Amino acid sequence: MNPGAAVGIDALYAYIPGNYVDVRELAEKRANGRDTSKILSLVGQKEMAIPFGFEDPVTMAANAVAGMIRHFKADVSKIERIVMATESAFDFSKAGSSFVHEMAKLKRGTEVYEVKHACASGTYALLDAVNAVRAGEIETAVVVMSDICRYKKGSSAEYTQGAGAVALLVAKNPKILAISPGTGTCSFNVADFYRPAGSETPVVDGRLSMESYIKAVCGSFSDYVEKAQIMPHHLLAAMSHIIFHTPFPKMAENAFFALCKETGCRRREKEDFERKVKPSLSIPSSVGNVYTASLYLALASALENATRDDIAGLFSYGSGCTSKFFAGRVAPQAGDRIRSLGLLKQLSARRRLSIAEYERVFYEGGEIDNEYRGFRVRSIRNGYREYGLV
């Protein structure tokens, strides 16, 4: 591990929809005489963010990118690449990032593309952008991850939905996280989770998806330590933050304990979980799964509490599947930068939807009464979306 590398995440901005559903209330509604304690402890989720019917992955991505540029006064003339990562795209050809490029007023000389590998594509885009900046090919890049996580109504996955976007600015001398060279990888073909063309919701094998996730996390970690020639317990001890892709909080918790078992580092596992992992679960437990953006929302949650230049380890998982482990050094300004976003205040300002309102807006595209400011879908003609700002 080389913690001194000075390219990485200079700015991070999260867009979280203004409505939410209480997961306990939803589980009770669907219980049908069953005790809800099993499913609630299986997922550990409190609330899920619900977008308006006129929001889509492009509007959320544009809100995140424009918000980031405005909030951190980013120099638009230096942005030479914008990549959008999503697994809820509505077009098989046109990249969502083309819309975002226009909505965020980026220059013509910007590389624009979209990437896919379930929840891991944003990580691949981030690592590519870091390499391109490190090699001097581009000055800065924006990677935006945006997803609406929607499952079949009444399924056990319904309690793990969510929506949102995270934009990252990749630059030299980053003020949030300097990403160290070297990664660990674990990939194998598995039918744990996929969304066939034309289907509104994915096909999910819940148990298989959890098993594959844990196998991949342990595999990418052991690949990393082998390549870096470092003892697993030394690396685990060196990390102050261990941050996971968080489809629901209990998944990250299970993965951490599985990793401790796999590496024989169980002596202080409970204490380590409380200190190194739990802070990253706080915001995700109120937002839900945001697929590609999930790891980076967990990073924001962890860094709300960062006070010094800690080492962070990050696990990215994409169903199907692939997994990456990588590490970085937290910049001294990171905590202040993240706290300046006021994410906790944003969460408490959201409107709680009744289950009937949630079903109407999320499954039937109906309207709900709540204030909205930002980009929205104005119309869809011949499948082509027109956007506007309200």
Q: How far is the CB of 208 from ligand CAA (least distance, A)?
A: 9
Q: How far is the CB of 119 from ligand CAA (least distance, A)?
A: 5
Q: How far is the CB of 27 from ligand CAA (least distance, A)?
A: 4
Q: How far is the CB of 317 from ligand CAA (least distance, A)?
A: 5
Which residue is associated with the tokens 């204030």? 371
Q: How far is the CB of 321 from ligand CAA (least distance, A)?
A: 8
Number of residue whose CB is nearest ligand CAA: 206
Report d(CA 49, CA 284) in Å as an integer.
10
The torsion angles phi and psi of 20, rounded to 5 degrees, stand at -150, 165
Report d(CA 336, CA 323) in Å as an integer.
30
Of 25 and 262, which has the nearer Cβ to ligand CAA?
A: 25
Q: How far is the CB of 178 from ligand CAA (least distance, A)?
A: 27
Contact of 170 with 143, CB cutoff 8 Å: yes
Report d(CA 266, CA 261) in Å as an integer.
6
- Spell out the SS3 assignment of 48-92: EEECCCCCCHHHHHHHHHHHHHHHCCCCHHHEEEEEEECCCCCCC
Of 43 and 66, which has the nearer Cβ to ligand CAA?
A: 43
Of 104 and 218, which has the nearer Cβ to ligand CAA?
A: 218
Largest CA distance in the chain: 61
Distance between alpha carbon 149 and the CA centroid of its chain, in Å?
A: 11
> End-to-end alpha-carbon separation of the chain, Å?
46
Contact of 287 with 164, CB cutoff 8 Å: yes
Give which of 58, 242, 61 is closest to 143, Cα–Cα: 61
Report d(CA 21, CA 59) in Å as an integer.
21
> 3-class SS at 245?
coil
Of 209 and 282, which has the nearer Cβ to ligand CAA?
A: 209
Q: How far is the CB of 302 from ligand CAA (least distance, A)?
A: 18
Whole-Å CA distances, 300 to 17, 81, 297, 359, 384:
16, 23, 5, 29, 34
Strands 111-115 and 79-85: parallel
Q: How far is the CB of 31 from ligand CAA (least distance, A)?
A: 4
Using CB under 6 A as the criterion, which residues of the chain lie in contact with ligand CAA when the complex forms? Answer: 27, 30-31, 34-36, 38-39, 42-43, 119, 156-157, 159-160, 193, 204, 206-207, 209-210, 213, 245, 247, 251, 289, 291, 317, 319
Whole-Å CA distances, 267 to 250, 257, 337:
21, 11, 34
Q: How far is the CB of 379 from ligand CAA (least distance, A)?
A: 31
Contact of 290 with 163, CB cutoff 8 Å: yes
Q: How far is the CB of 370 from ligand CAA (least distance, A)?
A: 26
Task: Using CA atoms of 345, 148, 59, 359 in order, give the dihedral in degrees to the nearest 10.
Answer: -80
Residues 377, 381, 382, 386: is their CA dihedral positive or negative? negative
